[in-house]
Amino acid sequence: MELVSKETVEKMATIENTVKKQVIEAIKTSKKEHDSSEQKTTVSIQNIVKDNTSEIIEKIDSKIPTYVKLYSDLYKKYLHIASNFCNTSYLTQKKFCDKMGIDETRLAMFDAYLESVKKMVLIQIDMNESMIQAYVGHRLTVLEFYDQMMNGSIANFAKMFSMFNEYKK
């Protein structure tokens, strides 16, 4: 049993080779620009890491509104489909049930049953919201603790590094 067709593998290989060539060209261009620049600045590992990391974080941060909107649109579409289904099936159900001649007592029982199901679903929606709020609150607390620990570790690293520099003299 063949999981991926030969054509698919060939397409993937072509794409991979194209990407590799583009990366190589980008590296060459970057090296040329770096070599030809007249302004020679002192470059440090810290600045390189900081600049690249900052750019990545800013890019991710800029995408958050897009992600939120996309998931919101997706969720709204689900709700729209559910609403359309209920509204469209209403007419069909009405015609079908009218022909059956269901008495008022049975309709009242069905109404009471659906009312209890609705209340249960509404309670579950509220419980789910509370659970998500607690979960996110917990995650934020953990992240705050992690941030404090990392800042403490960095401060200790700086102290140790300065001691090492003093010892080195």
Mean pLDDT of the chain: 85
- pLDDT tens digits, 70-129: 999 999 999 999 998 888 888 788 878 788 888 889 889 999 999 999 999 999 999 999
- Which token pair is 43? 């470059």
Residue 88 has a pLDDT of 83
Alpha-carbon distance of 47 to 42, in angstroms, equals 10
The pTM score is 0.53
For residue 17, give Cα distances in angstroms to 6, 23, 29, 114.
Answer: 16, 10, 18, 59
Alpha-carbon distance of 17 to 11, in angstroms, equals 10
